[in-house]
Amino acid sequence: MTVPKGFLVLSYKELISGASAQLASADNYDLVYQLSGDGTTSCISLSRQAAGGARLAVCDMYVLDRTVKYLEHSPDIEVTGMRHIANHIIKKKQIIYGVRFTPTVIPSYADVDKCRAVFESMRACKVYTPVQSVYETHGQSCFKTFNHFNCKAVSRILSSFPNQSLIFARGVCMNVASLHVSHAPWVEEHKLIVAHTFQEIYIKKNAYDALKKLSVSACVGTKKGGDTKTNVLTINTENGLYRTSLVSVENSIRQMLSECGVSTRSESSMYVCFNLNGSISLVADVDMNSPSIVVSHQSTPDMMRDDSMDGSLNRLRFINSACAYHRELRPMLSEMSTHWNSAESARNSNEYNNSVKLMLSKDNSPAIHALSSHDLSSD
């Protein structure tokens, strides 16, 4: 059965809430696209005609935000290609949702040997792992349109991380967008949010006030005669289109931040983004070995004991942050993400959340920090 791509696009654009449209039909099989009454959920249903004219459901696929749920009604019939339809729908939506985030508090990953020790603790401990057969969360690879329209911002972000890949920079760009429209309670003064780890860094009042003054530059673009430059970031949200700016941090302010222990590991670029909730995101390869940097950390035993979904997410975030910070640990990224799932997969043949594997094992993307418990939860 072939689904014409143009007809799928037309159905997505023109279908009103609560309506449905037939995408394809062949050999007694029908593929139908339906939009929920509130317009938030897309449903792709495959059915076949049985004896007597009755129609029997083969499988249903529900797409909500970036999460896909599969329901198989006829396990004797093998269905392939549904994920490609889901990817296409999500790419067309490519909406950044204003989820309520909380700061990442994980063990320190500044010392590579201590990171290896934490990895060993993970190997030795059977920790809770969300495993499901019907849910799949699609990650930043589905946001091609977002990356295309923000290619200049991605390029600037890449200049801040000279030892990272383009995929990494795209992930950071997604994080910046998520933070900009988030409902996170980051309104307390004298804090910065590290965009690629979602950690909070405390800074002095003079540095914070100087950064706030840069927000004026974010409205006017490049400042003639100065070194403050901005790069527009376009974000498509459920409330419409937002435009914000990545603002280059001037040398004088970088010096103030350095006095607070906030500096980069090399002479790379540093940018900030002023979010709708009043917080400030920092895009920089922050030196976590600085003796005067003030970051909240969680102990390794506490992280390992937390068997909740949030604890599971924190372990993912630690793996990702440590491997992003230490080049020598990056080959372990795939191994650790696989082991993280091994305890449950040994007892369960269900499929692990594909998007988390993709972001950890293939994309090497910091967009894992923008995941919420919703992304990993099952029915």
Separation in Å, CA 165 to CA 194, 277, 282, 362: 18, 30, 19, 12
Q: Report pLDDT for 369.
A: 67
Q: Report pLDDT for 109.
A: 95
- Closest residue by Cα to residue 146 from 70, 66, 83, 219: 66
Q: Report pLDDT for 205.
A: 93
Q: Report pLDDT for 286.
A: 96
User: In what side-by-side order are the strands of the sheet with 41-49?
Assistant: 20-26, 29-35, 41-49, 55-64, 67-72, 135-137
- Tens-digit pLDDT profile for residues 138-192: 556 667 778 888 999 999 999 999 988 888 888 899 889 888 888 766 556 789 9
Residue 93: both structure tokens together:
């939506």
Between 313 and 158, the higher pLDDT residue: 158
Dist. CA 371–CA 379, nearest whole Å: 17
pLDDT higher than threshold 90 for residue 259: yes
Separation in Å, CA 326 to CA 161, 192, 320, 367: 12, 22, 10, 17
Q: Which of 2-11, 76-85, 126-135, 349-358 has the highest mean pLDDT?
A: 76-85
What type of residue is 232? V
The count of other CB atoms within 10 Å of the CB of residue 324 is 25
Please report, for the chain, the start and end positions of each structural domain, with discontinuous segments joined by +: 5-93, 112-376
Class of domain 5-93: mainly beta
110 CB-near residues (< 8 Å, 6+ apart): 288, 289, 325
- Tens-digit pLDDT profile for residues 104-147: 899 999 999 999 999 888 877 655 444 433 445 555 666 777 88
* Range scoring the smallest mean pLDDT among 31-45, 78-92, 116-130, 220-234: 220-234
61 CB-near residues (< 8 Å, 6+ apart): 43, 44, 45, 68, 69, 70, 71, 82, 85, 86
- The torsion defined by the Cα of 103, 106, 109 and 111, in degrees rounded to 10, comes to 130
Ordered DSSP codes for 347-378: T--SPB-HHHHIIIIIS--GGGGG--HHHH--
At 353, is the pLDDT very low, low, confident or very high (cuts 50, 70, 90)?
very low
